[in-house]
Structure 1
């Protein structure tokens, strides 16, 4: 959380940001209503227009994947920690390689609307129990990440107004949350896709323009930029060497490794990102879409590195740290220095739109899981009509949005990075092992799926509760208590192997015949996953 007594930028930038943000919202909301599903086809609400080009799909994937943390948090981390911050950005880029090489094509070929459909096809005997478990994990991950976005919107507003009042916090969260609900409940996947594409284009253009201005100031000489960053850091060459943040001790190095595991594997398993993989109409479109997404994400991360170094070189590391200890203000301070009020307003508007777009994708994924997996398949056992399920999906979007707003208001003061990284860890520890085993392991059964899902979720949460995030340190939730027997702030290094181990253990120890599927079940699934067609009878 950012706690400032006064805003980072002036009132004119705030007014200009508000005008730009309202303009983007009005245009995108109007467009979302026009392209929203007009009939009762649930496929259009869940997946939208499946005839989009690879570029548009890639932009939507990039929009779903990159949050405001990349623009503000990652840039600030580079500005404060130099080499270690740049290394952190690598993990954000690498995750798409995992998606491309491991799960994209078989998931798209075997899936329908949600991840639960893939598990139901793989484990048909016990589909309701595994759908229920997967839906529970999906809702946990998406709600945690949604709350992080809503709390982050207040932290961003703090950059303008300083420490906000209770009424201001409530108004900001309710306004953003209401917009998110409208995009999803009325627009479905087409509406969410449009705002994602708008956000991705704005993000790419915004960081590109700012990075060009930084490089132009240093005559396009990277060595001069690095030298200026080292000078502006106040610690010289040490700023460009590893260890400034994560190399102080063995525990610190392990914490960084654990965080990277959670980022690389967790971002690849986030439900709203995996749901986006089901949208392309053909595998060749999916491949090209992912290549576009990889290129766009890599470019944004590269530009974020330039902006972070530029902020240190131009603004100064000490100035950034004095204003905002986390560094979230770095890119705004840089924009104000090199582009004045106009560039500051553009970057600020971009950050708000980014928060809005990611929150919309998360809400859609949660509403789809709640309506399709829980209501349609578990409660109604597949007998719900399309109109009935579509109505439940729209109502679910409202429920998820209201729940996210209430939790955001209650959890004000919580570190947004902690909530986001916990969501990543749960996705990597529970959802990813289950999907990997389902796609590639013939023996995998329902017992293994349930143990992996529930076990990965419980392990992640338990380790975070018993970590310095919750107790034993001044920045902890309960600084005066001490029950942090787990020394790391991110549980990925333990919880991810535990999720895979529990999935394997549950499978090999299953003794009841009903826990396992007939051999021909996996054979049919394999044909579907590889070729995208059902095995002929």
Structure 2
């Protein structure tokens, strides 16, 4: 969490940012309302316009995938830690390759609206408890990540106003949260797609143009940029070598590996990202869309790396660390040095829109799971489409309000910690269940329940007893010490535990004969598909 005594940028930039952000919100809200589902059809609310081109689908996927943590946090990490920060960006890019190669096409062929539908096809007799467990994990992940976005909005506001008071914090969270609720509850997937596409275009253009300004400053010579970054880092060539952040000890190296594992596998299992994979009508469009998304995400991560190095080279590592120890201010400091108030306002507006877009996708994914997997299953199929649609809209309001309340309570929390915990839960609970469901013939409902519950519980418990919560100056409780787990991210332990529990539950409780037979039809659908 950023805590500054004074704002990073001036009042003129704040006013311009407000005008730009308000303009984008008004335009996207109006467009979202125009494209919102006009009929009581849950398919349109959950999946939106399924006839979109691969480019537009790819932009929407990119918008769902890339959060403000990439624009602000990852860039700041590069600016402060050099090589180690660049490796963090590599993990973000590689995660999309995991989606492309492993689960995108099988999930699309075997899914309908949510992950629960995939499980229902795979385990028709015992789908109910697994659907409910999946919904629980989905809501926990979505709320954690949503809180990270809302807390991040306060952190971004801090760059302008300095440390905000309680009223300012509340107003910021409530305004952003209310806009998110409107996108998700009124617009559904069509409304979320509008802001995702606009956000992705803005992100690609903004990052690319700013990176071009950085390279132009150094004669389009990457070596000159690297040399300048090393010279102004205070660490000389060590800035461009591994170990500045994660190389001090064996525990530090394990922590870095655990974080990368959670990022690569967790981002590939986030509910709103997986839900987006179900939207294209055909597998061919999905394949082209994911390729577009991989290219766009790679371009943004490459640009973020250039921005991080440029911030160190132009502004200086000591200045960035002195202004904001987390590095989140590095992009704005760089923008102010390169383009003054105008570029600063543009990138600030982009960061706010990025927060808004990701939060809308998360809220929609959680609301869809509650309406379709929980309410629909509890009613045992006796729910009309109009009724389920009403429940989905109300669930979006509930999730949004819950996120706002938790963000106000935990506003001092580190946004990266909340986001990484969400990644770890997704990789430890949802990913093992999804992989086993798609590719293991013998997988049973008991294995799914153990994998989901065990992965969720293990991730949360390890974080509670880690340095994130106690024993360090930047912990939630710095004066207490019950951190017997040495790593800040639990992925290195919780992900294998999730896979192990799924295997153990299946071995101890094999699937029933009817579920074994159902897998044959499921496998045919997964491999061949049933296009709509």
Task: Say whether 1:523 aligns with 2:520.
Answer: yes
Q: SS of the counterpart of 2:402?
A: helix
Superposed CA offset, 1:440-471 (max 9, x none): 00000000000000000000000000100011
Q: State how far apart, in whole Å, the 2-side matches of 1:217 and 1:197 are.
A: 30
The Cα of 1:517 is off from its aligned counterpart by: 4.2
CA contact (8 A) 1:247 1:253 kept: yes
CA contact (8 A) 1:258 1:490 kept: yes
Task: Say whether 1:129 aligns with 2:115.
Answer: no
CA contact (8 A) 1:527 1:533 kept: no
CA contact (8 A) 1:48 1:188 kept: yes
Q: SS of the counterpart of 1:4?
A: coil
Superposed CA offset, 1:272-320 (max 9, x none): 0000000000001000000000000000000000000000000000000
2:289 corresponds in structure 1 to 289
Q: State how far apart, in whole Å, the 2-side matches of 1:300 and 1:96 are.
A: 13
2:439 corresponds in structure 1 to 440
Task: Say whether 1:414 aligns with 2:418.
Answer: no
2:530 corresponds in structure 1 to 533
1:118 corresponds in structure 2 to 118
Superposed CA offset, 1:32-67 (max 9, x none): 000000010110000000000000000000000000
CA contact (8 A) 1:445 1:517 kept: no
CA contact (8 A) 1:83 1:239 kept: yes
CA contact (8 A) 2:82 2:240 kept: yes
Task: Say whether 1:373 aligns with 2:373.
Answer: yes
2:237 corresponds in structure 1 to 237
1:83 corresponds in structure 2 to 83
CA contact (8 A) 1:430 1:455 kept: yes
Q: State how far apart, in whole Å, the 2-side matches of 1:510 and 1:29 are.
A: 50
| Mapping for residues 214-363 of structure 1, pairs under 5 Å | 214-363=214-363
The Cα of 1:533 is off from its aligned counterpart by: 2.6
Task: Say whether 1:158 aligns with 2:158.
Answer: yes
RMSD, aligned CA = 0.8
Superposed CA offset, 1:178-236 (max 9, x none): 00000111100000000000000000000001000000000100010000001110111
Task: Say whether 1:33 aligns with 2:30.
Answer: no
Q: State how far apart, in whole Å, the 2-side matches of 1:308 and 1:319 are.
A: 13
Task: Say whether 1:99 aligns with 2:96.
Answer: no
The Cα of 1:518 is off from its aligned counterpart by: 3.8
Q: State how far apart, in whole Å, the 2-side matches of 1:533 and 1:59 are.
A: 25
Q: State how far apart, in whole Å, the 1-side matches of 2:514 and 2:337 are.
A: 63
2:172 corresponds in structure 1 to 172
2:395 corresponds in structure 1 to 396
Aligned residues: 531
Where structure 1 has 5 or more consecutive residues not aligned to the other structure, the ranges are none
CA contact (8 A) 2:123 2:515 kept: no
Q: State how far apart, in whole Å, the 2-side matches of 1:338 and 1:151 are.
A: 28
| Misfit runs of 4+, over 4 Å | none
The Cα of 1:519 is off from its aligned counterpart by: 2.8
Q: State how far apart, in whole Å, the 2-side matches of 1:24 and 1:477 are.
A: 36
The Cα of 1:88 is off from its aligned counterpart by: 0.7
Q: State how far apart, in whole Å, the 1-side matches of 2:401 and 2:157 are.
A: 21
Q: SS of the counterpart of 1:8?
A: coil
CA contact (8 A) 1:214 1:306 kept: yes
Superposed CA offset, 1:10-31 (max 9, x none): 0000000000000000000000
The Cα of 1:252 is off from its aligned counterpart by: 0.3
CA contact (8 A) 2:124 2:515 kept: no
Q: State how far apart, in whole Å, the 1-side matches of 2:210 and 2:516 are.
A: 57
Superposed CA offset, 1:131-183 (max 9, x none): 00000000000000000000000000000000000000000000000000001
The Cα of 1:383 is off from its aligned counterpart by: 1.1
CA contact (8 A) 1:114 1:275 kept: yes
Q: State how far apart, in whole Å, the 2-side matches of 1:517 and 1:62 are.
A: 39
Q: SS of the counterpart of 2:413?
A: coil
1:186 corresponds in structure 2 to 186
Q: State how far apart, in whole Å, the 2-side matches of 1:201 and 1:518 are.
A: 45
Q: State how far apart, in whole Å, the 2-side matches of 1:481 and 1:10 are.
A: 39
Task: Say whether 1:459 aligns with 2:458.
Answer: yes
CA contact (8 A) 1:255 1:488 kept: yes
Q: 1:518 to 1:374 in 2, by over 3 A?
A: closer
The Cα of 1:473 is off from its aligned counterpart by: 1.0
Q: State how far apart, in whole Å, the 2-side matches of 1:344 and 1:519 are.
A: 58
CA contact (8 A) 2:452 2:498 kept: yes
2:195 corresponds in structure 1 to 195
2:484 corresponds in structure 1 to 485
Q: State how far apart, in whole Å, the 2-side matches of 1:505 and 1:178 are.
A: 44
Where structure 2 has 5 or more consecutive residues not aligned to the other structure, the ranges are none
The Cα of 1:483 is off from its aligned counterpart by: 1.1
Q: SS of the counterpart of 1:125?
A: coil
The Cα of 1:99 is off from its aligned counterpart by: 0.4
